[in-house]
Amino acid sequence: MPDQDNTKPKAAAGSSAPQAGPIGEFLRWLGSGHSKLRRFYLSHVRPGYVEKMQKLRRGECKRCGRCCSIFIKCPHLKNGNECQIYDRRYKQCGLFPIDERDLRCAKGIECGFRFATDEEEASGSHSSPTDKVSG
């Protein structure tokens, strides 16, 4: 099953631009919820894809908690966005971001992770390992 990017709001009929105003905000909010469901699905049903993408992930988690507030704020965030269950957090939490789509969904969040470019992967460059935070 090919992965599809369905997190972008749909354009109004007869228009190529996403909706603006309250409807556009609602569609973006709904899209971010889809992103959480997609990460849950991928982490539990598509482990091969997740493993492949984790090998391309570079950087480390800043532990800011902002990605935990996409769509709805996680109830385990307390005391200034500190995760109260960090050592036993859910699988999909430790894997964030699974791929570039997660970073696009997290607009406005300066995530400590990025994904290797084709050039980096071809050259075998692994200057920023990702094993500091993993699921």
pLDDT score for 67 = 84
Is residue 107 exposed (0-12), middle (13-18) or buried (19+ Cβ within 10 Å)?
exposed
pLDDT score for 131 = 40
**Higher local confidence (pLDDT), 118 or 13:** 118
Q: Which band of pLDDT confidence, cut at 50, 70 and 90, is reported for residue 43?
A: very high
Q: Which residue has the tokens 């997660």?
A: 102
Tens of pLDDT, residue by residue over 80-94, are 788 899 889 889 888
Tens of pLDDT, residue by residue over 12-32, are 444 445 566 777 666 666 666
Counts for the chain of helices (H) and strands (E), in that order: 5, 4
Residues 81/66, Cβ–Cβ less than 8 Å: yes
Would the pTM of this model clear 0.85, i.e. be above it?
no
